[in-house]
Structures are given as structure tokens and as C-alpha cells.
Structure 1
Amino acid sequence: MEQNSALAALADPARWRIVTALADRPQSVGVIADEVGLRQPQATKHLQTLERAGLVVSQRSGQRKIFALEAGPLRDLAVRLGRLADGADRQSTVRADFDNYGASLAEELASATAHRWADGRSFSFRRRLAAPRETVWAAVTEADRMARWWVPDHLRVARLIFEAVPGGRVIQEYADAADRTGVDGLVGRAEGVVRSVVDGERIGFRLSPLLPTGAVAFTADYTVTLADHRDAPGGASAGDPSRPEPVTTELDVRFRIDDSVVESADFIAGIELGWNQSLDRLAALINAEQK
């Protein structure tokens, strides 16, 4: 509570100037008022606030009142602020993602000047996953498993329907990962339909993120393909018949944007970051399951 009072007291620019003036030596109210450009009654009022917060002390010297700065509360605040700064430093990866998204958003906003502004944009993501193809196929087509990875790091899946048959529904609903009480409600929703399925090998679907108004931001036409991967000659198991050849699967995700509206810029700005984070989560999930 004392630190909160000190922070509140220092938040006023005039009081901050007074504290700065007292850093050199104790001074009278009149000298302080003159130095920081205040009338004496104003300076007195600010000094009383600082004294109640424990940041200064005073004593009489004849008809004058002299104020001195207290170092202890300032050091306590410095420790508290230092801990906050240390916490911010530990967020280096998260902060880098935040800054990268901001830079991407600025670029997309500059381009989003007319309807269909992003039409024809295509994206491609690949991962080599340490599991057989049937395991990866289940992870990318079964809704309960998809809900564990198909989401950026700062969000969580609130609801996911993925019917992996031609004509099947695709519905995604997201909430903030830190919002456990539902104060923000849903922060994202997308709707779509499965176009085609080649079991264990390829699935195609269309998906449209929705604006807060319920209108479509854009539509993406996805193709997700799986292929077996074998080590090249001379790989880890070459020359040792007792060691089984590693079983891995190449995952390829491709999609193209159509029907984009101006308001879709913030969605499109997050595609690269969001999909890379999602696929990293998928790889971590599969690695954990294979141990």
C-alpha cells in the first residue's frame, strides 16, 4: 500500500519536479516553489502529499519549513520497478512476436485500401513430424486433437467442429488464453466446409474468418497434404540394420485468399505468425505422444 501511495504521489509532474529538486539537498518551501515554477501555496500542497506518501520529511527552522527527500521508499520503488523490467525481459520471445505482428499489421493496413485487396495472396507452411502418417492424419482431421494445437499462442480454442468428410462443417471459435472468466467473450470465429478428402493423404477445405459484425473477412481455400518421409542414403540408420529407419511425415499446408475486405488487414497480418505457432504446437504434441 505504501508503494502504491508513493507511485500515485510521483505520478503528478509537479511533484516529480519537486522530488528531483530535493535530490541534491534539503530545501525550504519557498526555494522549492521558486525552483520548480510554482506558487508557494501550490508547492506546500504538493509537499504535503509527498510527505503523506513517505517520500519526504520536514522540520521547522525558525519561520521556515525545510523538506528532505527520503531515500528508502525510492529504493523500494526501484526494486519493484526493476522486477517489472526483469519480467518484461523474460518475455523476449512473446514481445518479439508482438512487435513483429505490429510491423506486419502496419504493412497490411497500408495495402488494405479497396475490396478484394488481398485476393490471390497465397501461403505455404511445411513441417517434418516425427510420427507415421496415420498418426499425423488423426492429429490434423480429428477435432478433439486439432483443438490442442490449431490456435496461436495467445488464444485458446473455445469450440472446434471439423467434420473430415466432403461437405463436412468447419467451425472455429477462439477466446483469449488468459481469459478464464469469459470477460472478453469470443475473440474470433471462422466458418467453412470440407471440399475433398483422400483418406490419410490429403484434405481440402474452405474457411472464412468472420468480422465482429459477422461478415466474412476473407475466404481461404486450404489443401493439407501428408507424405511419408525416408532418410536419404547415409542417414542416421544407414549401415546399421539393427536400428529401425526413422518414421517421419512431411506435412504441407497451402492456401489462397479470396473475397478479402478492407477490414481483414488485422486477420491477414497474423497469418504467418499464427500458423507457425500452431504448427510448432502440433510438432510438440506429436513429439510428446511418441515418447
Structure 2
Amino acid sequence: MEAPQVQPQLATIAEPTRFRIVQLLSTRACTVGEVAEHLGALQPQTTKHLQALEAAGVIRVHRLGRRRVARLDRGTMSALSEFFGGLASPAGDDTVLDEYEAAIVRETARPVGDDGARTLEFDRQLAATVSDVWRAWTDPERAVRWWAPQHFEVDAWELDPRAGGAIRFVLREGAGATYASTGVVDEVEPGARLVFRLAPVGADGLPLFAARHTVTLTGSGETTALRLRIDVSDVRSEAAPAVAGLEPGWTQLLDALRLTVEG
């Protein structure tokens, strides 16, 4: 059942007295008088609540001569259960967000004087030629297709694939916030090796940390082995979210790279 179809039932059940009625009727069918007694309310007030629940399809009221017996509409309950069961199914973002938040907590807890130095390494086997993978890293039209984690898009991307060349890219979030990173290319071996320094900048325009990226490509025919090594140091105190996002961020980027070069 889609959300618009369950909204009337949820809005009706959300009223506290009606919620109590639903709880009561979940155990057994009751007459109007029994419901009123359970609530400690007058029968006319109870009748109005039962009418609202019936109109929304939450309960059924059986008119048995002079008696009125209410019970849950099990079909509606089944549809609500299916709807919420769907919401309970894990999504891909769940684990990523949990791990990212935990990483930020660990970064924030670093002792004073710890510059956060560490090395991250990523390996991918790609079903694409070395030249295709190299172009994906160095050609702006190709790079913008994959150089953005989930929920972001590339707002600007510049990389001059020469030693001393500048790097700059800007990510834009859905709400419009932007995040800039800048750096410089250190080494270039076309089709084999690309080394660059790149890091996000803070509000003061200075890098939040130092990060030297080494991309190595080795290939055989239509297959390329990619290794990315990131040496991190000089992590500023306010850089916890940014540096904690390196591992999940680059994992997503390299997955997107695979789709780009293999698609």
C-alpha cells in the first residue's frame, strides 16, 4: 500500500482515544457499551470515535439488531503492516550513515597533539582498458560522471594532468550547500600513475587536512587493476566530518567509477 492510501487510517488512529480503541479491539470484538466502559467515557462520545474509525476503514461495526459490535478491519491492518514492513527493510544508506557517524565520533575523540596521520588503500579490478580508466580520471566530461558520493553532484571539476597542475572541484548537496576541495598534481605517468594532493577547504579557505593521493593503474587487455593510496596527515580539529568521510566517500566514488568505465 502506498503512503497516500494509508494516511487517512494513520491520521485517524493517531488520536489518543482512538488509538486506545484500536488496542482494545486488537484483542477481541466489543460492543459500543464495552468500549465506552473500557475508556471510562460516555457512550455518545465513544460512538463518535467509532464512527471516525469506521469511516477511515480501520474498524468494522456490525449492526446486530439493537447491538453494535465493533472489530478491527483485518484487511486494513494487513495493509498497514505491509506498508510499515516495507519501511523496516534496510536501505543502502543505513549502514553507511551508521559507520560514518561512528567514524566522526572517533575522529572527534583524537587526543590533543595527534595529527591524524593514517594511510587508506583501495583496490579495484575493472573490466575496462587502462586508457579508458585513465581518461575517466583526467577528462572532465568523464570525471563528473562519477566523482560525487551519493546525494551529491559535481558543481565544478578541474584537473590539469601535469606536474604542478591545479585541481579543484566543488560538490553540491541537494539543499544547495557546496563543498570545495583544492590541490595540486605532483606526478604524472600517463596511463600508469597519477599523484596529487587534494583536500577540502575550511571556512578560512585553508585545507582541513593534508592528503596525498596515489593512483596506480596496471592493465592487461580489457582489464585494469586500480590501486588508490591516500596518505593523510595534519588533520585540523574541525576536520572530523571531512576526514571521517574519506573511506566511505572514496568507496562510493570507486563504485561509481566502475559503473562509468564498465557501462
Band of TM-score, shorter chain: 0.7 to 0.9
Q: Which of 117, 135, 140 is the equivalent residue of 1:143? A: 140
Q: How many residues align?
A: 257
Q: Using the alignment, how far apart are the partners of 2:75 and 2:222 within structure 1? A: 63
* Aligned counterpart in structure 2 of residue 19 of structure 1, from 8, 17, 22: 22
- 1:137 alignment partner AA: W
Aligned residue in 2 for 1:242: none
Kindly report which structure 2 residues correspond to 1:1-291, keeping only aligned pairs within 5 A, or say none.
3-23=6-26, 24-29=28-33, 31-36=34-39, 38-40=40-42, 43=46, 46-58=49-61, 67-85=70-88, 88-89=89-90, 91=91, 93-109=92-108, 111-112=109-110, 114=112, 117-176=114-173, 179=174, 184-211=175-202, 213=203, 216=206, 218-229=208-219, 246=221, 248-288=223-263
Deviates more, 1:15-24 or 1:253-262: 253-262
Q: Map Cα deviations across residues 168-218 of structure 1 (whole Å, 9 max, x no partner).
A: 332222234xx4xxxx0135322222234344443332222135x465562
SS of the aligned residue for 1:126 comes to strand
**Structure 1 residue 130: Cα displacement:** 4.2
SS at match of 1:185: coil
CA deviation digits over 1:78-125, x for unaligned, max 9? 34334545xx35x3x44333433344344334x2465x6553122122
On the 8 A contact 2:134/2:191 being kept in 1, the answer is: yes
Residue type matched to 1:219 in 2?
F
The residue type paired with residue 204 of structure 1 is V
Identity of aligned residues (%): 31
In the aligned structure 1, how far is the partner of 2:233 from the partner of 2:13?
Answer: 53
How far residue 165 of structure 1 moved from its aligned partner, in angstroms, is: 2.5
Contact 1:126 1:250 (C-alpha < 8 Å) held by counterparts: yes
Alpha-carbon distance in structure 1 between the residues aligned to 2:97 and 2:107: 15
1:43 deviation in Å?
4.8
Secondary structure of the corresponding residue to residue 94 of structure 2: helix
State the secondary structure of the residue aligned to 1:165.
Answer: coil
Residues in 1 aligned to 2:58 and 2:8: alpha-carbon distance in whole angstroms:
9
Matches of 2:156 and 2:234, distance apart in 1: 25
Evaluate the alpha carbon distance shift between residue 103 and residue 9 of structure 1 in structure 2; reply closer, same or farther with a 3 A threshold.
Answer: same
The Cα RMSD (Å) is 3.4
- Secondary structure of 1:19's counterpart equals helix
Distance 1:249 1:70 in 2: 59
| Structure 2 residue identity aligned to 1:207 | L
Code of the residue aligned with 2:78 in structure 1: it is: R
Q: What 5-or-longer segments of structure 2 have no aligned partner?
A: none
Deviation at 1:7, TM superposition (A): 0.9
- Cα distance, 1:112–1:210 mapped onto 2, change above 3 Å: farther
Task: Provide structure 1 residue ranges, at least 5 long, that are not aligned to the other structure.
Answer: 231-245
Asked if 2 retains the 8 angstrom alpha-carbon contact of 1:224 and 1:253, the reply is yes
Cα distance change of structure 1 residues 108 and 68 upon mapping to structure 2, 3 Å threshold:
same
Q: After TM superposition, give the deviation of residue 19 of structure 1 in Å.
A: 0.8
Amino acid of the residue matched to residue 56 of structure 2?
Answer: A
Distance 2:153 2:143 in 1: 12
- Once the two structures are TM-superposed, the CA of residue 256 in structure 1 deviates from its matched residue by 2.3
Q: Aligned in 2, Cα 1:250/1:4: closer, same or farther, shift over 3 Å?
A: closer
Query: CA shift at 1:8, angstroms?
Result: 0.8
Q: Give CA deviations for 1:118-142 in whole Å, capped at 9, x if unaligned.
A: 5312212233444444433222222
Question: Structure 1 residues 78, 283: CA separation in 2 closer, same or farther (over 3 Å shift)?
Answer: closer
